[in-house]
Amino acid sequence: MQNDLSRKPKKKIAFIVEYSAIKGYYPFERTSILAKLLKTEEDVTVFLKNVSDEALEIFTDAQLSPILYDHIDELVKHLKELQPDLIVQDGKDTYVEYVETIRPLCKTLVHFDDFGEGAELADCNIMSILEETRETTAQNILAGSFAFAVTDTLKSIAESRVSNELSNPPHIIVAYEDGDDNNLTYRTLRHLTHLQIPLKVTIAIDREYKHSISDLQMMALSRRNTKIFKDDKPLDKLLPVADIVICNANYTPYKVAAVGIPCIVSAQNERELNNIFPRENNGFINLGLGRKMKQSNIQNAVMELLLHEARRERAVRKQIQLEIQDNNEVLKSLLLDFAYERHNIVSL
């Protein structure tokens, strides 16, 4: 009985996540990973706004039962009843009026990757997508590759990769996640079909791809060993067999770095273009804005990785040195510090 009385009451942690087309489904994955981790020790509630079946699946797989809401009035009512110690906001960029409504309902407010004006009102804005061109770095920003939460699937893929030797023929995975508005998938495949060397190319098509798949299939038929792979989570199934990944510059490079695969990135938009993570210092070849991608640039990048083993090894070594596999525990400790109001946090 004495042990029960001496136990500290659990902290109440509320996660709020809303879909953003520019960020895709990754914020839902990060929320599910962290909510599941914290649920073993604290009282955790997840709130989802206007979610699709795809988003709900992420939480079902994590054995979490989120509370759904349509309007902020509903959310406010739930939060008043809950009285959380910590609110963690992820997904859409916030505006000031929204945060002013939420802020009084908790002791501490933490945002992830929030580029909206409301982010400045949070106690902390944890950024994995950090733009080098941000004019003013707010005092509440905590930024670094540690802010990417890693799925169990990525961890198991990393453990199963025993070698970075090239397959025969080398296998290139093309994966533009988070919508691919400018159809860089098509542009990249068109450029790769002109490489006069033996290659295996697999095009990853997920549920967010908005363009004609038949156009890709017609092009794939023109070259041997070129396939279209359509799946809810194609990258999870293709990373184990990838020699080189060509992808966008949002969250996907973190997934690649968690496993350790030579990678070429091409930005889908200005925000991705300014993301400082997928650069040479972290092991990536960055081609800049995808809609301006030249055939010679992407072909040269592919050939550089195929011809030089030391270049591939250096890329993988730099990715592995980031220790992204350890991020979940870092993030868990960080959020617990905020929940318990231990705010003397050093920059990571």
The pLDDT of residue 348: 45
Mean pLDDT of 111-127: 95
Structure tokens at 70: 């349509």
Query: What confidence score (pLDDT) does residue 2 get?
Result: 45
Confidence of residue 62 (pLDDT cuts 50, 70, 90): confident
pLDDT at 347: 44
- pTM beyond cutoff 0.85: yes
Mean pLDDT of 28-34: 97
Percent pLDDT > 90 in the chain is 82
Is the model's pLDDT at 147 over the cut of 60? yes
Q: Which domains does the chain have, with CATH numbers?
A: 2-122 (3.40.50.720), 152-324 (3.40.50.2000)
Is a pLDDT exceeding 80 seen at residue 8? Answer: no
pLDDT over 80 at 248, yes or no? yes
What pLDDT, in 10s, does the model give residues 165-197? 899 999 999 999 988 999 999 999 999 999 989
Q: What is the pLDDT of residue 346?
A: 45
Cβ(146)–Cβ(329) under 8 Å?
no
